[in-house]
Structure 1
């Protein structure tokens, strides 16, 4: 497997996803599935996702390792949010996309979520895992065994 990380970082893919969601909602709305006031539930997902993503990145920095995709890790972070998921920053971005889709309330923006998820999974997560295995060996494999990639 190719372990080189794409130059376009996940937060940029996320922002492109938001723009595409808004455009799809504006120009190709497919069936309104959620009406006010229920659409405001999306704000909860946005806040949770933002908190998880930003908090995880800050946690990484506090422990002295670089959160940038593909950057040489100095340690395996197994505490905080990383105790529950190996990818809390990506999970935070995905949760914010879900929140945006709920806020917009039509089916068309929902189409962006699996595309984003697949891109992050194939272009970042799997490649980063291979790098972590190369850098840390058995300790990382043990962490992989006990901590889900996303959520369990």
Structure 2
């Protein structure tokens, strides 16, 4: 696919994976078998982590005056905040949120869709973003990409 094609919207990819996992759960339930107390505790912890990490990522975008829109033009290369540890904290948050739903719903299907989401984000969104960032920021982006992992 040409890199000039627009990337799908990550929240829509998340929603599609969640709905597909829920549909599979409805058709053929495949439970994780976790006790309710563990599901609620772990799910709540994951939700808190997603909110804190994702909020920090969005605040970093806002503070630097650039857009989180995957098809937008970046006005700054983000290397601070959560971007010190991962080049894609918001996408990591979406994948973690899907894990959270899998745990809360006690569904191996929904949990497994987190891997599908990571693959979709990696191949359909991140690769295109990286091409644009390399073209825009050149050697500065290359050095950043060597220093900070794409995911974790």
1:28 CA drift (Å):
1.7
- Tell me the equivalent position of 1:53: 54
Structure 1: gaps (5+ residues):
none
State whether residues 30 and 106 of structure 1, in contact with CA within 8 Å, keep that contact through their aligned partners in structure 2.
Answer: yes
Per mean C-alpha deviation after superposition, the further-off stretch among 17-26 and 78-87 is 17-26
- Tell me the equivalent position of 1:12: 12
- Tell me the equivalent position of 1:42: 43
Per mean C-alpha deviation after superposition, the further-off stretch among 97-106 and 47-56 is 47-56
After superposition, where does 1:48-127 map in structure 2 within 5 Å?
Answer: 48-127=49-128
Deviations 1:26-82 (A, max 9, x none): 332114431211111112112211332233123202211111002111111100000
1:110 CA drift (Å):
2.1
Structure-2 change in CA distance of 1:78 and 1:5 (3 Å): farther
Structure 2 length-normalised TM = 0.90
Q: How many residues align?
A: 151
- Tell me the equivalent position of 2:144: 143
State whether residues 32 and 105 of structure 1, in contact with CA within 8 Å, keep that contact through their aligned partners in structure 2.
Answer: yes
| Residues in 1 aligned to 2:25 and 2:38: alpha-carbon distance in whole angstroms | 17
Structure 2: gaps (5+ residues):
none
RMSD (Å), alpha carbons:
1.7
Structure 1 length-normalised TM = 0.90
